[in-house]
Amino acid sequence: MIKWLISLMMVCSLSVTVSACNPDGSLKNTENTVPEPEPNPDPTPEPVTGNGMFDLSKGENGNPPSIRLSSGYDMPIIGLGTYSLHGKVCVNAILSAVKHGYRKFDTASFYGNEEEVGEAIRTCGVPREELFVCTKLYPNQFADAEKAIEESLRKLNIGYVDLMLLHHPGAHDVEAYKAMERAVEAGKIRSVGVSNYYIREMTDFLPQVTIKPVLVQNEIHPYYQEKEVVRFMHENGIVIEGWYPLGGRGYTATMLGNETIGRIAKAHGQSPAQIILRWNLQNGVVIIPGSSNPDHQKENISLFDFELSPEEMAQIAALDRNEKHDWY
């Protein structure tokens, strides 16, 4: 009898450890059950980390890859700069660029074309959430940044701004940036950053703000490479974007005519402009070349069917003259 009771107790104990009740009172096995898998988050793209390099293998001509900013939003690594574009030329340039695959557009209050950029964004036929628009506050707006932010939102008239930058350092820049941070909290701006800030400026600026800039936009091209600045931004998880990637006003023809760049271009069957732009991307630098010419726009976004060798990258790196083409 005692042996029978002991056996019964062991069976009951085992049943408790491996069973649970279904809703109808029957038993179900729960031991070694594999939990339901968590839904996978959007697998593309990866956040910007460490060395700041892009996975260019994911790009296609007319369809550049995106990177995930530290704010959690995605941004294409090629965009259209609109500095010199105004009126219908600006609108038509953006409409043309959209047809060639551009989804990122760069403007600024100082450019005086936010209204045209907004018109093109609203009428291009691509859903707003698939487009990325960056604008900037100029230093003479910093003292009343909240008003300036509202003015840009009104002129663009596209619901929200994907990225707003301080155009360059100036009095009240920290206060202006904090106004942009409040606009992020209000859902008016998605990401914030700065332009024309270098290592010294960033070292001073970062401890004073709450939201780390997702991006720094500086002059970068083969004659002004800013290698230490690029490294600093990458190490701090900040995207670096180059304006004047082809040399800028009055300098583009000279740079495109450089013998080294021309030789590399000939070897790949590409244009000198494509070689320079690809060099930037392989260095982890986002590019925003500006053009209203549809052929140039197409060329500037067709950078994914060739790759520069380490030797070619080194040859272009050797062209650095520390030659800045604007005063910022």
The domains found in the chain, sorted by start residue, are: 56-317 (3.20.20.100)
Q: Which tokens belong to 288? A: 């925003």
| Residue closest to 102 by CA, chosen among 130, 80, 122 | 80
pLDDT category at 328 given cuts 50, 70, 90 is low
pTM of the model: 0.84
The overall longest dimension of the chain from CA atoms, in Å, is: 104
Q: What is the pLDDT of residues 4-29, one digit of tens each?
A: 443 434 433 433 333 333 433 333 33
Residue 326: per-residue pLDDT: 81
Q: Is 111 a catalytic residue?
A: yes
Q: What is the pLDDT of residues 274-309, one digit of tens each?
A: 999 999 999 999 999 999 999 999 999 999 999 999
Average pLDDT value for residue range 134-159: 98
Residue found by looking up tokens 């698939």 in the block:
130
Average pLDDT, the chain: 88
CA distance 99 to 223: 32
Please pick, among 102, 111, 177, 223, the residue that the annotation labels catalytic. 111
Using DSSP, state whether 266 is helix, strand or coil.
Answer: helix
Residue 26 CB-density burial (10 A; 0-12 exposed, 13-18 middle, 19+ buried): exposed
